[in-house]
Chains A and B, each alone.
Chain A
């Protein structure tokens, strides 16, 4: 089912905003890790770890889920489809992968914030969370590039669908 142009553009707007916002939220999360890695004073290190939790819960996760859902809606509601073109398929796979890893990582983020809030925790043991944040950013740059360039390449399923449409005269 193809969406009407107005609806398609509205969904596209939400998708672009949430996807770019997701990247920005990750950048903010990475920025919180900078004072930790730079060896800032104890208060700043604890504060940075405490702030990582709301940034992830209130920005990264909602934007990730919105990006994923609107991306799927956008694919299914346009002739691009979800499985017809390799760039869409790979973008979907990487977005799902990044979202799943993010959700699985939430327990660690909560634990990190709890440890930072505990005055008994040795600040030297709080080493931030650069691994997942930079990894996530790198992974999400691939769908970004694919969505901009849309490199050619029909999947077998897409080719079959195109053949069917040509045979039916559409």
Chain B
């Protein structure tokens, strides 16, 4: 956190707030896909994925 200063991001800003960066959208979509897959695996495995599932 000390190598770059957050205000180095402060080029002269337009009057409008910035849109969401592309990498954020890509990351959120990617995480959403992963979470959906995890939920799918959990549902297909009967909802039990913890260590006690074979108990």
Interface residues of A (CB under 8 A from B): 8-9, 12, 49, 74-75, 78-81, 84-86, 90, 105, 108-109, 111-112, 115, 125-129, 131-132, 135, 138, 142, 147, 150-154, 156, 159-160, 162-163, 166
Contacts and interface: CB of A to CB of B under 8 A. Distances in A.
Contacts of A80: 1, 6
Interface in B23-55: 23-24, 27, 31, 34, 38, 49-55
Interface of B: 1-7, 9-10, 13, 17-18, 20-21, 23-24, 27, 31, 34, 38, 49-55
A142 B27 contact: yes
Which 4 residue pairs spanning A and B have beta carbons closest together?
Answer: A112-B51, A153-B21, A108-B50, A125-B54
A74 B4 CA distance: 14
